[in-house]
């Protein structure tokens, strides 16, 4: 049981972050994803990470674009060799982040990528960190489900849709929002151009200096 408790503690610790710093990290990833020649998002996606502040409240959210369903990935615009590696006909990326600015706390995270395979069947991944607010109807905050293994706080759904049974929730390591966006896109375009941590780079960083 201890490792699951440790993971939950790490997920709790992950929430401590400054929203502007986290948003700027995400913008850097979005910028990379929208720069030619390997762009999967429309140009200047970094400018479309929209900040929304609730007046007279510490609550601030960031969403990718105003379209609530997120933004379409421009998979067809990829150069031909990369297109062959893509198993989806279309996909949309949604980034939803909510923070308590005063407490410097990530309250909720939702990074979703869904689309259709070439045979038109649906496919989706979604990384969720639920809201941790304890209320009368949520007395346990982010302790959803029945335990820290089956329903880890930071988890990823993988399936044809998010609602298909069995609802797979893969526990996720405590990665920051920018890395989660990188990861999600790397699953759809599994090529060197979209791999944020190529083994050659990992090896170089592991080498003693």
Partner 1 sequence: MREPGVALAGALARDQGGLAIVTCPDLDLRDWLVREVESLVSIDANSFRTISVTGALKHPDRMALLVPIDEAEVVRDLDGSRDQALNPPRTQPIVLFLLRHGDGHRTLATEAPSAWSWASGSDVDPEKLAELDVDAERASFTTDTGQSPEDWLIPWRAGQLPRTQENYTRAFWAMTLEQT
User: Footprint of partner 1 on this chain (CB under 8 A)?
Assistant: 20-21, 23-25, 27-28, 31, 35, 44, 46-55, 59-61, 66, 68-70, 94, 96, 98, 108, 110, 112, 114, 124, 126, 128, 131, 137-138, 161-163, 167
Q: Which is nearer to partner 1, 94 or 153 (CB)?
A: 94
* Number of residues that make up the chain: 209
Q: How far is the CB of 50 from partner 1 (least distance, A)?
A: 5
Side-chain-side CA neighbours of 112 within 13 Å: the count stands at 20
Give which of 186, 26, 196 is closest to 99, Cα–Cα.
Answer: 26
Q: How far is the CB of 3 from partner 1 (least distance, A)?
A: 27
Examine residue 5 and say whether the peptide bond preceding it is cis (omega within 30 degrees of 0): no
Q: Which is nearer to partner 1, 83 or 161 (CB)?
A: 161
Buried b / exposed e along 150-167 (16+ C-beta atoms within 10 A)? ebbbbbbbebeebeeeee
How far from each other are the two terminal CA atoms of the chain, in whole angstroms? 38
Q: How far is the CB of 35 from partner 1 (least distance, A)?
A: 7
Q: How far is the CB of 181 from partner 1 (least distance, A)?
A: 13
Q: Which is nearer to partner 1, 5 or 53 (CB)?
A: 53
DSSP 166: S
Q: How far is the CB of 207 from partner 1 (least distance, A)?
A: 26
Q: Sign of dihedral through CA atoms 48, 88, 97, 22?
A: negative
Q: Is 169 helix (H, G, I), strand (E, B) or coil?
A: strand
Q: Which is nearer to partner 1, 25 or 74 (CB)?
A: 25
Q: Which is nearer to partner 1, 18 or 83 (CB)?
A: 18
Contact 127, 172 (CB under 8 A): yes
Q: How far is the CB of 2 from partner 1 (least distance, A)?
A: 29
DSSP 196: S
Q: Which is nearer to partner 1, 11 or 98 (CB)?
A: 98
């Amino acid at each position: 049981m201890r490792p699951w408790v440790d993971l939950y503690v790490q997920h709790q610790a992950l929430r401590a972050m400054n929203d502007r710093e986290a948003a700027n990290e995400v913008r850097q990833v979005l910028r990379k994803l929208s720069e030619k020649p390997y762009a999967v998002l429309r140009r200047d996606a970094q400018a479309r990470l929209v900040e929304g502040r609730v007046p007279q409240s510490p609550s601030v959210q960031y969403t990718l674009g105003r379209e609530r369903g997120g933004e379409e990935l421009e998979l067809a615009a990829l150069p031909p060799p990369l297109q062959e590696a893509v198993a989806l006909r279309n996909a949309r990326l949604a980034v939803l982040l909510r923070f308590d600015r005063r407490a410097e706390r990530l309250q909720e995270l939702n990074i979703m990528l869904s689309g259709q395979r070439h045979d038109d069947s649906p496919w989706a991944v979604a990384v969720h960190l639920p809201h941790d607010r304890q209320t009368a109807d949520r007395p346990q905050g982010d302790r959803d489900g029945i335990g820290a293994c089956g329903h880890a706080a930071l988890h990823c759904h993988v399936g044809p849709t998010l609602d298909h049974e069995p609802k797979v929730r893969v526990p996720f390591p405590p990665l920051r929002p920018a890395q989660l966006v990188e990861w999600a896109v790397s699953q759809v375009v599994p090529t060197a151009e979209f791999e944020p941590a190529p083994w050659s780079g990992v090896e170089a960083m592991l080498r003693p200096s």
